[in-house]
Each structure stands twice: as structure tokens, then as C-alpha cells.
Amino acid sequence: MSGPCEADALILFGITGDLARKKLFSALYELTVAGRLDMPVIGVASRAWNDDTLRSQAFAALEESGRDIDGELFSRLASNLTYVSGNYQDPDTYKRIAERVSNRACTVSYLAIPPGLFDDVVEGLAAVGINSSGRLVLEKPFGRDLRSAAELNEIVERHFPEERVYRIDHFLGKEAVQNLMIFRFSNTVLEPIWNRHYVRGVQITMAEDFGVEGRGSFYDEVGTVRDVVQNHLLQVLALLAMEPPVSESPDALRDERVKALRAVVTPSRDDVLRGQYVGYRDETGVAPDSDTETYAAMRLELDSWRWAGVPWIIRAGKGLASTVTEAVVEFARPPRPLFADADCRPGANRMTFRTKPDDGISLSMQSKRPGPAMVSHSVELHLEGDRPRGRDAYYRLLADALRGDPSLFARQDGVMEAWRIVDRTLSGCRPVVPYERGTWGPAQADSLLGSDWTWITK
């Protein structure tokens, strides 16, 4: 059986949107720099742009990003860029797209548009035969809840088989997130202690010190759980909890991520705390009686041999004390304190995987405190990440989609498991609890930790 075809055309729906301006044009430029985008790139949207408008907007977006632009390389990118203006419900739009790719054997269609439009575009592509051999890339969110995700999948699978559907979650394309998987499975010293016998608990935090930044109308329809918990943070949990894959093949990797999510016990009402920062309801576009969460914390458990009894605490929020994204694995304390100060018990060993504000992995260990006393103190062993300059997650994921590598893309069964985990939170949870901006969220979230644990990131 032959492998995936190499793409020879790229169709970008939603080319006039924020995602294209902030991320996709940069990724296209970097792919051109790397010699990996020698193909037509057809931008599609409803705005009355033309080819020249698209090219000038692409250049402006690159200038906004602050990168150095090589004129010859940009000219090469611009020569590949063309534009189709049209309504996503108009069959003529897809006929004009088909004309642009009529002699292409493997087209990648990227839907950087709201999920409510996915069905129109998928049906339109199928009507002109673009679905026959090409791939479909879907930007998150994949539905709004468990039911809508199932309905969306039913629409997609009518015209595209699962192996040609790529659900993009840019978090999986980050260097630090990929390094998490490498670090786990390429260092044999970790495997004997990566289980319930030695791990006391795991905390995963995605905190932002800013609010909704003028996006109140959008955020009020989404909330923290849909925005980052259901996708980004549960993907990190899966990478930390998964078993070693049987090979490096894309499906072997995704099989284990899905198994980890399948092991997560659906949280009860008491395992979830939602919060909302004071002043959120005054934001433009936010309902005056909004119950949308800007903070969410969950206590999760995995019903598996490796992780039974180990608490996994996930929290995310806006308007918090700091901007930081990290996962901290805390190991069990020694059976009795040795070389301890009378007033200070030695801290637990911790391994921290951080993606913001910088990439890196650190290990907290105990070492002798300098001086005459035989007492220990915590020291940090830190491995700084080496992020490729100018290239972010979208460069890697677009490159993978073009060459047909689905390893870092979400699969439908994994998406459904993630929605299953949070679905009860979305439909039957308690009202939001207010918290002040600049804090670490509602104090009530402390109850999720139990009596003998504290927040690690604070």
C-alpha cells in the first residue's frame, strides 16, 4: 500500500481572517524559505479582494510580525498566491477553485473558518471532486460539545475518509510539546518512576495575565473550557500519561494518546470549578449576565494500571497573576526527612515542562546548602529549549499536512474522548465564581487539591 501523496496545491479558506494575518502568512513564507512550497496557494474568502490585494496583505502581515523579508523569496511566494472571492454557499465559488487546481493530483484544503461553515465548504469541495484524493485540514474548535462534534464528524466523513482528515491543534506543533514526548521515551531513567508508585500528582497550568483583549463577543460564546482545556491541555495530559507507542508510525502515536484520554474518568460536579474575573461582564460584546468562564480548574483521575489514584489537576484562565504555560510532575517525598532543617522540610522532586514564557525542561532536586550545616535545599537543573528562529507551530503543522504526516494532528476518536471529559462541565456545572484580576483565580479552587497539596505555579 502506497503512502500519502505529496501535496501539489494548497487551498486556504478564511485567508482574510486574523489567523492568516497572525500565523498562516508567516508559515507560508517560512515554507517558501525552506523550499517546501513550490505549488499554487489559493486563498478563499468572501471579501472583494483580488490577487494583488492578497499579496499586499501577505506582505503587510509579514512586516507586522517583525521578521526580515527577503525580497526574492517573497516574490517567489507571491507568484504562487492567488485569490478566489465568493460565498461559501455558492456553487460557483467551488467551480472557480476547481479551475485553479484542475491539473493537480493532491490538493490540501485548509479550513481556517468557524466550524459552522465546515459543512458548506466540505459539500462544496465534494461537488467539484476536490475530495477525491486531497486532504482536509480543520482548524479547531471541532464542534462546541460532544453532540455537535459527532454531527460535524458525520458531515466530514461523508466525503473524506478519516485518514485524509487532519484536525489541527497548534499546541501539538510547539517545540516544547514535541520535546515532552521525546524526553519521556528517549530517556530510560524516567520509565521506572513514571507511574503511581513514584508520582504524587501532576499539575497542568495555562495562565494569562491579560483579559479578553477586545474579543468579548467571541469569548463569551466559547469560554475557557472550549478554548484551551478541551484541546490544548488535555493533549498535554495525554502526552504525559500515554504508554510507549509500539512504533513511530503516526497511528501508533495517536493510538496511545487516545488510550490515555479514554482512561480519564469523567469528572463529577465537585471536581470542577469555573471562575470569571471581576469586570468581565463590562467588556464590549459580553452579556451583562454572562455565566461564561474565564477560569476553569479540574481534578481528573485516570483509571489505568499506571496512573490509578494519581490526581491530575488542570487549570487555565485569563486575568491571572502571570502568563505561564507548564506541566509539573511532582514525585513522592522520601519516606522520612533526612538532612532537613528543623523549620523546613525538603521539597519534593519536580519535573517541569514549560512552553511559556520560554521553552524548557527543569528538574527540581535536593542538594547540600552551602555552609557548615548538613542540610539540603532545592536546586533547579534546567534545560533551555532551542526554538527554531522565525518558525512556530503552524510552520511544522502545515509542512506535515502537505507531506501527509498526521502524527501531530488530532484524530476523531481522540476529539470525541476530549469532549466526553468536559461535556458535563459545559452543560451542568455550577455558576461561575468571581475572582479579582491579578490573582491566581478563585480561592475555592484550592479544594480540588486536597488538604496536603498546594498549587505549584503561583
Paired strand residues for 84: 44
Q: Which of 197, 232, 377, 382 is catalytic?
A: 232
> Environment class of residue 301 by beta-carbon count within 10 Å: exposed (0-12), middle (13-18) or buried (19+)?
middle
Q: What distance in Å separates the CA atoms of residue 319 and residue 342, rounded to the nearest whole number?
A: 38
- Residue 357: cis peptide before it, omega within 30 degrees of 0: yes
- What phi, psi does 51 have (nearest 5°)? -60, -45
Q: What distance in Å separates the CA atoms of residue 21 and residue 217, rounded to the nearest whole number?
A: 20
Task: Name residues whose C-beta falls within 8 Å of residue 286's C-beta, 6 or more positions apart in sequence.
Answer: 212, 216, 217, 219, 220, 280, 292
Cβ 326 vs Cβ 205: under 8 Å: yes
Q: What distance in Å separates the CA atoms of residue 255 and residue 277, rounded to the nearest whole number?
A: 38
Q: What distance in Å separates the CA atoms of residue 122 and residue 409, rounded to the nearest whole number?
A: 19
Does 377 qualify as catalytic in the annotation? no
Q: Which of 103, 121, 109, 119 is nearest to 46 (CA)?
A: 121
> Environment class of residue 428 by beta-carbon count within 10 Å: exposed (0-12), middle (13-18) or buried (19+)?
exposed
Q: Give the residue numbers marked as catalytic.
A: 232
